[in-house]
Amino acid sequence: MPIQLALNNMKQSQLFSKTRRHSPKDETAKNAELLIRAGFIHKEMAGVYSYLPLGLRVLNKIEGIIREEMNALGGQEISMTALQEKEIWEKTNRWDDSLLDNWFKTKLKNQTELGLATTHEEPLTRILLEYVNSYRDLPLYIYQFQTKFRNELRSKSGILRGREFLMKDLYSFSRDEKEHQDFYEKSKKSYFKIFERLGLGEKTFITFSSGGSFSKYSHEFQTLTEAGEDTIYLDEKTGIAINKEVYSDDVIENLKLEKSNLKELKAIEVGNIFSLGTKFSEGLGLNFKNEEGKDVPVIMGSYGIGLGRVMGAVVEVLSDEKGLLWPASIAPFEAHLIIVDSKDGEIRAEADSFYEKLSKKFEVLYDDRDLRAGEKFADAELIGIPYSLIISKKTESEGKIEVKERKSGKSVLVEKNKVLSEGFSKLF
Ligand code: ATP
Ligand code: MG
């Protein structure tokens, strides 16, 4: 068995982050407001957020799902540096601020200029100069979860648009156009699966957007939400959408869609896939000897997903007037155990012992605090763990436990042993 990296359970009395009634005055995005109030994130400044224990658990789960799917695609995980050399960016003509306008740049003591990673095509291509020589060394699919820095002009969308944010970026290195296209199609399927697993399946659509100079289109994965900064035109029958930047009669016809079926909607780009052709391999000299012994440039693609943006999109799409509402797959804990009447020694002993047993099988947040029941329930609704398990004098007198589903607000009384052996997700 692999080692378990996450802490599996936690007592709420020991959790340093607390729920708050208000979020900072300058915070206008619903996602950040709720996440700050529930103690998942902390706002450092506009567009810059720290992740607190609950928020980090969600982020790590999002990462875990994406990692599984990237590995299933044949991806190899690495971790590149955030500090980047100017020279490699000059080779691809992307260093100048007039060409890439959201750079954060810095300097060494000796005045050498450096960039803080906005993306990683250049450094990864340079790494591969040392390892790719022949057609036998390809194809390669290499990915990472890494911090990106972008000096975004506006940062009013909470964690949907950070100036510092975590991205999964995968880069493909193929021998020819067909090999590239095959992988590109596989990556689409993989992305649909990822967004499904992240709880965004119903609201996320593939969108045709501008392809740069190498292919007619690139593809974005757009999640419908009023908080989104993009406008897409969606054909609900086929699930295909067109991004506003390429929306035209020509494109509609080209994609065999009907203008009258297209609905204008607000959406947020949660991921994208891009054919890069040979721009970077030619710029940095990444060639390989093909089977005929001829030197040719590698064909590249890039495939991004913003983890914080996904988390923010889940909040925008799924939360309700009571607070956050996590899909089970990325909830910070599977269950929120809540003790009511905690000052009663017998009830507390019972709840403590149930927590010990429960946390051997499930990830549990145990609200062991001596607070009024109403306050604890309101906190649980704000935090949004899918199931609450409530122990009180009343439930104890019946020898049972109350299981409440966050989404429907419904609750049932169940034998404790049944919860321990069968869980709670099948009760609703
Ligand atoms: P946008 O058009 O929204 O600025 P982008 O085209 O710049 O996005 P990419 O550079 O392709 O995006 O980055 C890949 C993914 O990283 C995006 O699909 C998105 O999920 C995420 N992302 C991009 N910019 C940000 C940001 N400022 N904050 C959080 N996530 C981001
Ligand atoms: Mg951008």
Q: How many CA atoms lie within 13 A of 9 on its CB side?
A: 19
pLDDT confidence of 7, banded at 50, 70, 90?
low
Distance between CA atoms of 49 and 47, rounded to whole angstroms? 7
Tell me what the mean pLDDT of segment 361-381 comes to.
97
Per-residue model confidence (pLDDT) at position 401: 97
The per-residue pLDDT for 161 is: 97
Average pLDDT for 203-232: 93
- Could you give the angle at which helices 53-72 and 177-197 cross, rounded to 10 degrees? 140
Question: What percent of the chain shows pLDDT beyond 90?
Answer: 94
The CATH class for the domain spanning 335-427 reads alpha beta
Atom of ligand 1 nearest to the CA of 270: 20
Q: Render pLDDT for 42-94 as a digit per residue (tens, 0 to 9).
A: 999 999 999 999 999 999 999 999 999 999 999 999 999 999 999 999 999 99
pLDDT number for residue 2: 56
Ligand 1 pocket, 335 CB below 6 A?
A: no
Write out the DSSP string of 199-237: T-GGGEEEEEEE-TTTSSEEEEEEEE-TT-SEEEEEETT
* E strand or H helix that includes residue 105: strand 104-107
How many CB atoms within 10 Å of residue 359? 20
Nearest CA to ligand 1 atom 9: 304
Distance from the alpha carbon of residue 297 to the mean position of ligand 1, in angstroms: 27
Average pLDDT, the chain: 96
Q: Decide whether any atom of ligand 1 lies within 6 Å of the 271 Cβ.
A: yes
Per CATH, the homologous superfamily of domain 9-318 is Bira Bifunctional Protein; Domain 2 (3.30.930.10)
Name 204's Cβ contacts closer than 8 Å, sequence gap at least 6. Answer: 192, 195, 221, 222, 223, 224, 270
DSSP secondary structure, 227-281, as one string: T-SEEEEEETTTTEEEEGGG-SHHHHHHTT--GGGEEEEEEEEEEEEEEEETHHH
Which residue among 103, 154, 269 has the greatest number of ligand 1 atoms within 8 angstroms of its CB, and so is best to mutate?
Answer: 269
Query: What is the pLDDT, as a whole number, of residue 414?
Result: 97
Q: Is pLDDT of 424 > 60?
A: yes
Residue nearest to atom 26 of ligand 1 (CA): 161
Give pLDDT, residue 371.
Answer: 97
The answer on pLDDT for 5 being more than 60 is no
Q: Whose CA is nearest to atom 29 of ligand 1?
A: 161
What residues does CATH 3.30.930.10 cover in the chain? 9-318
Which phi and psi angles does 252 have, rounded to 5°? -60, -45
Is any atom of ligand 1 closer than 6 Å to the C-beta of 308?
yes
- Across 89-113, average pLDDT: 95
- One-letter identity of residue 119: T
pLDDT on residue 351: 97
Residue with the bigger pLDDT between 36 and 101: it is 36
User: What band does 24 get if pLDDT is binned at 50, 70 and 90?
Assistant: confident
Q: Which of 130, 118, 140 is nearest to 300 (CA)?
A: 140
Based on the number of CB atoms within 10 Å of its own CB, is 424 exposed (0-12), middle (13-18) or buried (19 or more)? buried
| Ligand 1 pocket check for 123: Cβ under 6 Å | no
d(CA 138, CA 298): 9
Would the CB of 358 count as within 6 Å of ligand 1?
no
For 313-357, what is each residue's pLDDT tens digit? 999 999 999 999 999 999 999 999 999 999 999 999 999 999 999
Assess whether the C-beta atom of 305 lies below 6 angstroms from ligand 1: yes
Residue nearest to atom 8 of ligand 1 (CA): 269
Is 1 a residue whose pLDDT tops 70?
no
- Alpha carbon distance 414, 398 (integer Å): 10
In tens, the pLDDT along 162-172 reads: 999 999 999 99
Ligand 1 near 115 CB (within 6 A): no
Q: Following CA atoms 103, 106, 112, 117 in sequence, which dihedral angle do they give, to the nearest 10 degrees?
A: -50
Q: What is the pLDDT of residue 46?
A: 94
